[in-house]
Amino acid sequence: MQTSQLLHPLGDAELVHRLIFVRGGGCYTFGELVNKAFDEQKWLKGASGVGEGSRNDTAASLAGKLMRELPEKDWDHVCFPFLEQWNALNTPPLPETELRRTFESIRALEIARRAQDASKEDVQLSGAITLTELLTTDFPEARFAVEQLFEVGTINMLSAPPNKWKSWVVILCAICVASGRNLFGKFKTEQQPVLIVNEEDTVRTLQERCNMLLEDDGPLPIHFHIGKQIRLNEKFVQQLINEARSKGIRMIVFDSLRSVHDADENSSQEMQKVMNELKRITAAGITVLFTHHNRKTGIGT
């Protein structure tokens, strides 16, 4: 359903309060959202738009307050459309990519906050859902860091035998995602900062590869950890999540997975611990991509 057009709140406050956002099963008037997002004394001022120096901070504050009040299923269908219409009143409005980046950064923080709060509470098993509820649940359209390949907030693997250009491909992927251009000229990307964790190659090697793959992209929001003995354990993963939040990083590449853990890959119990650490990253709203070396197999195996 289409969201109602937002009227300037100083024009007719009563009419504004009757405007309705209906998305994903949630139904809210604009007034209800405003009351959730602003203190009573200053909602009119904030809802009327802000100037250039206050747009990002106000957008982050609005998104944070609304996400705290609304169920997660309504964030994409209610919170972001609300921000888009609020942004139209700013002078000038934020670029859509910048507004989306702020929204996603606050989403990751709120997801992490809820997870932390949940971990402190006694575990209460909710009731099982029925087949009818499962089949009739309305999910928002999937978003992709790289369309058809890497969905936002998921764990993804690029696997091939050794020396088959995996590291080159993930660097090219990072460049395309960070610049917003199509991967291989075909797969659309959602522009966002990227972090590459590489424990196999030298700084010189990565510099040479980047120089060969970069086009006229200019400075790109790609960050590197190279040869720092990073491991997928609680301490390092939390540091990576914190860094991603502070820099707006929405995708982390591990090249390779084998180089960032010490688990026995033949042990499902040990590898589950590694996967759980990757899930902590995706729970923060960050897409994970790792490379994996296929085992060498002989004839008849």
Q: What are phi and psi of 274, to 5 degrees?
A: -65, -45
Separation of alpha carbons 123 and 127, rounded Å: 13
Residues 266-288, mean pLDDT to the nearest whole number: 94
pLDDT of residue 28: 54
Considering the domain architecture, whether residues 113 and 148 belong to the same structural domain is answered as no
**What's the chain's length in residues?**
301
Lookup: tokens for 301: 């195996």
Read off the pLDDT of residues 174-202 as tens digits, 9 standing for 90 and up.
Answer: 999 999 999 999 999 999 999 999 999 99
Do residues 6 and 30 lie in contact, with contact meaning Cβ atoms separated by under 8 Å? yes
Residue 231: exposed, middle, or buried by beta-carbon count in 10 A (0-12, 13-18, 19+)?
A: middle
Considering the domain architecture, whether residues 112 and 243 belong to the same structural domain is answered as no
Percent of the chain residues past pLDDT 70, beyond the cut: 80
pLDDT band for position 271 (cuts 50, 70, 90): very high
Omega within 30 of 0 (cis) for the link into 256: yes
Answer whether residue 138 shows pLDDT above 90. no
Answer whether residue 272 shows pLDDT above 90. yes
Read off the pLDDT of residues 49-103 as tens digits, 9 standing for 90 and up.
Answer: 788 888 888 888 888 888 888 888 878 878 888 888 888 888 899 998 889 888 9
Considering the domain architecture, whether residues 22 and 91 belong to the same structural domain is answered as yes
Considering the domain architecture, whether residues 67 and 107 belong to the same structural domain is answered as yes
Read off the pLDDT of residues 28-55 as tens digits, 9 standing for 90 and up.
Answer: 555 565 555 555 444 445 556 788 888 8
Q: Among residues 35, 139, 132, 114, which one has the least CA distance to residue 283? A: 114
Percent of the chain residues past pLDDT 90, beyond the cut: 50
pLDDT band for position 276 (cuts 50, 70, 90): very high
Read off the pLDDT of residues 139-184 as tens digits, 9 standing for 90 and up.
Answer: 888 899 999 999 999 999 999 988 899 999 999 999 999 999 999 9
Considering the domain architecture, whether residues 269 and 199 belong to the same structural domain is answered as yes
Task: Map residue 197 onto helix, strand or coil.
Answer: strand
More confident residue, 56 or 220: 220
Residue 250 lies in a domain: yes
Separation of alpha carbons 45 and 131, rounded Å: 47
Separation of alpha carbons 35 and 13, rounded Å: 12
Domain span including residue 19? 13-120
Residue 298 lies in a domain: no
Considering the domain architecture, whether residues 154 and 113 belong to the same structural domain is answered as no
Residues 260-275, mean pLDDT to the nearest whole number: 94
DSSP annotation of 148 reads: T
Q: Among residues 259, 251, 278, 274, which one has the least CA distance to residue 195? A: 251
Separation of alpha carbons 15 and 27, rounded Å: 16
Q: In the predicted model, what is the mean pLDDT of the chain?
A: 82
Do residues 118 and 110 lie in contact, with contact meaning Cβ atoms separated by under 8 Å? no
Considering the domain architecture, whether residues 68 and 157 belong to the same structural domain is answered as no
Give the CATH number, domain containing residue 250. Answer: 3.40.50.300
pLDDT of residue 173: 97
Task: Map residue 156 onto helix, strand or coil.
Answer: strand
pLDDT of residue 89: 86
pLDDT band for position 4 (cuts 50, 70, 90): very low
Residue whose pair of structure tokens reads 């966002």 in the numeric block? 192
Answer whether residue 122 shows pLDDT above 90. no
Query: Considering its fold, how many domains does the chain have in total?
Result: 2
Separation of alpha carbons 67 and 59, rounded Å: 12
